[in-house]
Structure 1
């Protein structure tokens, strides 16, 4: 009888564990547009990774979680985590929270101030280091010298690790680990009881924006995505053309097939906002617009291009349209304006927009023959009417032009770039 009872208990426990595992898995459902060449184990990435708290007492907490295997050993990934309750000292705030995964760029790390910014906005937020390191506490995290290498950290994020190891196994290359760790962070934050797993977003800056473009196509569980600067088609135009020039045709094809966002953007299914500047040194407008256009037409996608937006982590997380967009889709906040395509009508341009509040607008153009990311831009204010916006037409010799609208909180939405010189 005792043996029978033990068997019953074991059976019940096994069933409960199996059920819990199934619930926790909440598997990624890959898009039909996701290429067969994608190298990640999506069932594995759907599971929350093992993790250990490093600090649970500070307003911004810290932890490490287990990443993929690198050079024969499992890796450890450092991350900061914050909630409205942790930063404001009121645990009652931590219920049914939307959440955001923050992906740093080249030379970056997990940034405490970034998750704190999101927590103060009402989100749970996680930011992980993608270079096998952690920031030195109390030192300026924006200086690369202020990092400590983890004993079991994954690959570093230098150009050698991004491009120079293309002949190695996929799991020995940085893009593989960076994407996996961003998705692991998503699975982890979704498992926290204070988080509403159906209201999660992802944003990344520079290389983090590049990763956001990939992650948004791979991980269908996100409900909103905002890549900043980063894009695809790096082999066609980017600051890394010299790296591709040193590759053999086979190496270049392999890199583009495995790691360029152009492969994954057609699989994006959640609302996505692309944020960039006209003169970005790394991710120029021609590759950027191709990336935007690679997202399916039936997906809610918007652009926010500003003239000569500076490039950097703080400059990349400051634009108010990022939070505005996340609030729209994760907190049912006020939507960003939706603009049409600007139409030339004699000596004027007419732009239609929806009913969202627009406080000002402008038209921007360039006439010089400089490279696409080195143009000298001119700007003229436009007139905002009830249902349309009027602006003077750009000069007939304009090479590129576009329009922007701005809301009361400073959020900027732009039209698609008009390339008039196709030579």
Structure 2
């Protein structure tokens, strides 16, 4: 049985609390849209992995759990774990909690502050390292020098590991382990007695957003997903076109088949919010909108595109719309406004939006660009829009606009947007 915690143990003592041999009460049920080429054993990943406390006393706890085999040996994954009760010192708060799995991006690690942020929002949160390492306590975790490699860690997460090993066996590649370790973290947090396993979400930043797009299609047990920056269609346009140019056509197709999120987004069944900036250097809007479009239309999907949103871990976890969206679906909170496709009517643009959220629509705007630069290098212009009872009105963008869209902001600063309108179909 799972022992009650938090409890006090000496730091030198590690204690295995859970075994993957437990009977699966709620296994992953693969979507019919999940490709047959997906490489993971979903039954195995549905079971909570064995784990060991590293620190079971601090407000933000730390642990390691058992990952899949790499280089002939089982791996360890380091993670931080926090709840409202641990960060506020009140165990009575830890009952029937919604939970969130936090996936870091390239150059990142397990972030204590990210787990704490979600715990203060009222969630149980787990943030794992997906590079076979752990942060050095007391040092800035955003500096890659402040990491310690685990003796039994999995593959590193540099570009060479994401692209250069595509001809290796699938189980030796970073994406395979990263997705598996995210799903195992989900299985682990769902097994904790304070967590309501029917209210779990996942969010990731940059490469973590990329992984969120995959995981949301693979692990049907999530109830909400928020990928930030990351998307699919990376061979169409992304920061890594030079990497794909170095591959043979066969290896490029193998990468697309195994690891491009466009293979997995059609299998998404839970509500999903895509968060990005207009000028993201890695995940440009053309590939981003293709990723949004391939999610089935019967799934609740929304966009949040901010003009020139900064690309960073703090920049990717601070937008209030992320917490607002999770609260909507995991805590029955006030819904974000849902908007339609903007329509040009004479000299103005009309944007229909959900009247159930009228109280939340504090302001709105229209954004456009007219230059001939690359899609993620445009200069953007903005004009205010008028919020009416069930419609938003804005001035028509110039006839030579290359792309344009509209945004709605709520009283708490959460931003949602319409689809991007391209002058030239993408």
Instruction: Give the TM bin, normalised by the shorter chain.
Output: over 0.9
Distance 2:58 2:247 in 1: 47
Q: Does 1:76 align with 2:79?
A: no
Indicate which of 373, 376, 379 corresponds to 1:373.
Answer: 376
Deviations 1:262-286 (A, max 9, x none): 0000000000000000000000000
Give the match for residue 196 of structure 1: 196
Post-superposition offset of 1:306: 0.6
Aligned to 1:386: 389
Report the secondary structure of 2:243's partner residue. Answer: helix
Query: Aligned-pair distance for 1:111?
Result: 0.1
- Partners of 2:274 and 2:390 lie apart in 1 by 24
Measure the CA separation in 2 of the matches of 1:303 and 1:397.
24
* Residue of structure 2 in register with 1:126 after alignment: 126
SS of 1:286's partner is helix
Tell whether 2:69 aligns with 1:66.
no
**What residue in structure 2 maps to residue 395 of structure 1?**
398
Deviations 1:176-231, CA, capped at 9 Å, x for gaps = 00000000000000000000000000000000000000000000000000000000
Cα drift, residue 421 of structure 1: 2.8
Measured after TM superposition, the shift of residue 26 of structure 1 is 1.7
Which of structures 1 and 2 has the bigger CA Rg? 1
Structure-1 residue corresponding to 2:244: 244
| CA–CA distance in structure 2, aligned partners of residues 350 and 237 of structure 1 | 31
Q: Give 1:324 shift.
A: 0.1
CA distance in 2 between counterparts of 1:373 and 1:399 reads 12
Write the distance in 2 (CA, Å) between the matches of 1:111 and 1:258: 28
Q: Which residue number in structure 2 is paired with residue 4 of structure 1?
A: none
Deviation at 1:93, TM superposition (A): 0.1
1:339 aligns with 2:339: yes
Q: Which runs of 4+ in 1 moved over 2 A?
A: none
| Structure 2: distance between partners of 1:345 and 1:262 | 34
The answer for the alignment partner of 2:157 in structure 1 is 157
- Give the 5 Å matches for 1:46-125: 46-125=46-125
Query: Which position in structure 1 is the counterpart of 2:5?
Result: none
Aligned to 2:350: 350
Q: Given the alignment of the two structures, is residue 45 of structure 1 paired with residue 45 of structure 2, yes or no?
A: yes
The separation in 2 between residues aligned to 1:38 and 1:290, in whole angstroms, is 21
Asked whether the 8 Å contact 1:25–1:47 carries over to 2, the reply is no
Q: Secondary structure at the match of 1:105?
A: coil
Residue in structure 1 matched with residue 8 of structure 2 by the alignment: none
Could you report, residue by residue, the CA deviation over 1:82-104 in whole angstroms, capped at 9, with x for unpaired residues?
00000000000000000000000
* Count of residues in Structure 1 that have an aligned counterpart in Structure 2: 404
Distance 1:77 1:25, change over 3 A: farther
- Say whether the 8 Å CA contact 1:25–1:48 is kept in structure 2: no
1:387 Cα deviation after fit: 1.0
Runs of 5+ unmatched residues, structure 2: 1-18
SS of 1:227's equivalent in the other structure is strand
Alignment TM-score, normalising by the size of structure 2:
0.94
Deviation at 1:21, TM superposition (A): 3.0
Gaps of 5+ in 1: 1-17
Preserved CA contact (<8 Å) 1:278 1:305: yes
